[in-house]
Amino acid sequence: MRICLFPGTFDPLTLGHVDIINRAIPLFDKIVVGIGLNAAKAPMFTAEQRLQWIRDIYKDEDRVEGAIYEGLTIDYCKKIGAHFILRGIRYVSDFEYEKTIADANRTLDKNIETVFLTGEPKYTSVASTIVRDIIRNGGNAAPFLPDIVAKSVLK
Q: Say if pTM beats, i.e. exceeds, 0.85.
A: yes
pLDDT of residue 126: 80
CATH number at residue 75: 3.40.50.620
Number of alpha carbons in the 13 Å side-chain half-sphere of residue 8? 26
When divided into structural domains, the chain yields a total of: 1
Torsion, CA 100, CA 103, CA 109, CA 111, rounded to 10? 120
Q: Chunk the chain into consecutive blocks of 10 residues (it has 155) and report each block's average pLDDT, rounded to whole numbers.
A: 96 95 98 91 91 97 97 97 96 90 96 95 86 92 94 83
Q: Which residues of 99-128 are buried (b: 16+ CB within 10 A; e: fewer)?
A: eeebeebeeeeeebebeebebeeebeebbb
The residue range of the domain holding 127 is 3-153
What is the phi/psi pair of residue 109, to 5°? -155, 105
pLDDT of residue 40: 78
